Amino acid sequence: MTTIISRATWGAHAWNGTPASVPLSKRTEFFVHYDGGTHITRTGYAIMRAIEAQHVNQGWSGVGYNFVVDQAGNIYEGRGWGLQGAHCPNHNVSGIGVQIAIGGDQEPSAKALAATRALYEEACRKTEKTLAKKGHKDGFATACPGGLLYAWVKAGMPAGDYQSTPAPGGSTPGAGVAVSRARVTVNGLDYGYGAKGDHVTKVGEALKQKGFGKHFTSGPGPVWTDVDTLNYRDFQKSLGYSGAAADGVPGETSLKKLLGTLPAKVTAKPKPPFPGRDKFGPGKNNSSITLLGQQLVRKGYGKHYTSGPGPKWSETDRKNVESFQQAQGWTGSKADGYPGPATWSALFA
Ligand SMILES: [Zn+2]
């Protein structure tokens, strides 16, 4: 059973109007949302009051989500089970909309994910069907629910230590199976449950390519979930590993066999500060011009150099800078071939 904090408890205002009722039999989908582009620092009931204020301001009856889940794993009632939501056009009757109260690249807590998964299971029990797991963007052109939550939804909403009973007729990837949650660092990069990054996507793609992608329902993606662990375990078994060595958590040897070479952590070089406009132009001779030229070459804008780049300003420097500026879509004085702070910033981005 999931405990839901009622509207009365969190201090909702009376509905502004009368939201329509929706019978459980009409529900077929479960939508996950986030709050938007910025991190949420509010906690507790204040989360709900802020959403309510915003949604009423938009002319809605009150909180538009059916439920909201905070990072502590609390579930708050919005429209609840029986009222039509206002969270995704054309899906407010068929879809139960749940916001996980995070924003931007904020990481959802294990508790929030487990609570949301529990809510999903309860929704399946109540409706007596396996509801489709969706992110807002599956129903509407939006960035919601953000990369992390969307990857989680697409991985089948695996939920920490939460053990679910498989819904009738539905598969619940990762649930009910003993899957290692260990995380390891190899060559500066993390692998295993919760690891994030392009290198995680690459492992998933390599597994899939070698025929070890059967646990993926979609993806692979940049967040390591139980599904990745299960696929990796199949790969380890194919290498002859058994027992604890085939736990689905990568090691250096198996990674090398999968990928050929080990991916290495790329440490971003700090951006050099803009040295000032007076460093560039005819007659100038300094190390900033060399730095500029080298970066132009690195970025593929060195075609006018026949030698160099070097510290002495030349017309080829100006032409290369001009090409780079034009490639940014700039015109006129913004593409005069002399670097200003904007050019510098874009060049070293
Ligand atoms: Zn949304």
State pLDDT tens for residues 94-133. Answer: 999 999 999 998 999 988 999 999 999 999 989 988 999 9
CATH topology of domain 183-259: Muramoyl-pentapeptide Carboxypeptidase; domain 1 (1.10.101)
228 vs 217, higher pLDDT: 228
How far, in Å, from the CA of 10 to the mean position of ligand 1?
A: 22
How far, in Å, from the CA of 91 to the mean position of ligand 1?
A: 12
Q: What are phi and psi of 70, to 5 degrees?
A: -100, 175
How far, in Å, from the CA of 32 to the mean position of ligand 1?
A: 7
**Do residues 66 and 81 make contact, with C-beta atoms less than 8 angstroms apart?**
yes
CATH class of 277-347: mainly alpha
How far, in Å, from the CA of 99 to the mean position of ligand 1?
A: 7
Asked whether the domain spanning 183-259 has the same topology as the one spanning 4-154, the reply is no
DSSP string for residues in 204-245? HHHHHHTT--TT-SS---SB--HHHHHHHHHHHHHTT--GGG
The percent of residues above 90 in pLDDT, for the chain, comes to 69
Residues near 337 by beta carbon (within 8 Å), at least 6 away in sequence: 317, 318, 319, 321, 322, 325
Classified as helix, coil or strand, 3 is coil
CATH topology of domain 4-154: Lysozyme-like (3.40.80)
Q: What pLDDT does 171 receive?
A: 35
Is the entire prediction scored with pTM above 0.75?
Answer: no
What distance, in Å, lies between the first and last C-alpha atoms of the chain? 49
Classified as helix, coil or strand, 290 is helix
How far, in Å, from the CA of 146 to the mean position of ligand 1?
A: 9
Residues near 151 by beta carbon (within 8 Å), at least 6 away in sequence: 219, 221, 222, 223, 225
> Sign of torsion, CA 236 240 241 243?
positive
Q: Distance between CA atoms of 249 and 179, rounded to whole angstroms?
A: 9
Q: What pLDDT does 162 receive?
A: 43
How far, in Å, from the CA of 45 to the mean position of ligand 1?
A: 20
pLDDT at 211 over 90: yes
pLDDT at 163 over 60: no
Domain chopping of the chain, boundaries: 4-154, 183-259, 277-347
How far, in Å, from the CA of 30 to the mean position of ligand 1?
A: 12
Q: What pLDDT does 258 receive?
A: 96
How far, in Å, from the CA of 100 to the mean position of ligand 1?
A: 10
Q: What are phi and psi of 45, to 5 degrees?
A: -60, -25
64 vs 304, higher pLDDT: 64
What are the pLDDT digits (tens) for 69-88?
999 999 999 999 999 999 99
Helix axes 226-238, 198-209, angle to 10 degrees: 50
Q: How many Cβ atoms are within 10 Å of 199's Cβ, its own excluded?
A: 24
User: Which residue, among 194, 152, 190, 149, has the nearest Cα to 173 in the 3D structure?
Assistant: 152
